[in-house]
Structure 1
């Protein structure tokens, strides 16, 4: 993947898209993620996928999004996280608050 130096520098808002694999549905995972994201000042959503994963989309500063990613991988989440697959890009905007879907 091509590196985006503006996104890496933290100069511009970023969008983190993280697919969380494991036992993460029906255990309060989306609520927990929403709470952490709001504490970090991020906007976005945590959405259940039909295959049992949760898709987390968060926009804000690179530092705040990286902290959320670290929390998703920390072992302190509800349920059990086996794998988090991340993607970074420039923020697209249009997100208000942080919602559970």
Structure 2
């Protein structure tokens, strides 16, 4: 199992972003969650298969992610 931590910046602190992200984690078979940070960003932690983690990162950076994502910083491990 691999792990990523992604910090997502933009207009993402609404309930819809966290809810959508948790649903995407479940759809991809990943364990983890999403939480608001004090600086207005959201931290997403995901654990699972590398291909599913890559799909999550692509989704977070893509146009179908909820909210208005400005940037996604990803740390593996």
Q: Does TM-score exceed 0.5, indicating one fold?
A: yes
Moved over 3 A (4+): none
Which runs of no fewer than 5 residues in structure 2 stay unpaired? none
Higher helix proportion: 2
Q: What is the alpha-carbon distance in structure 2 between the residues aligned to residue 88 and residue 26 of structure 1?
A: 25
Higher strand proportion: 2
Q: TM-score, normalised by structure 2?
A: 0.95
Which runs of no fewer than 5 residues in structure 1 stay unpaired? 1-12, 90-101
Q: Greater relative contact order: 1 or 2 (C-alpha under 8 angstroms, separation 6 or more)? A: 2
Question: May I ask how many residue pairs the two structures share in their alignment?
Answer: 77
> C-alpha root-mean-square deviation of aligned residues, in Å?
0.8
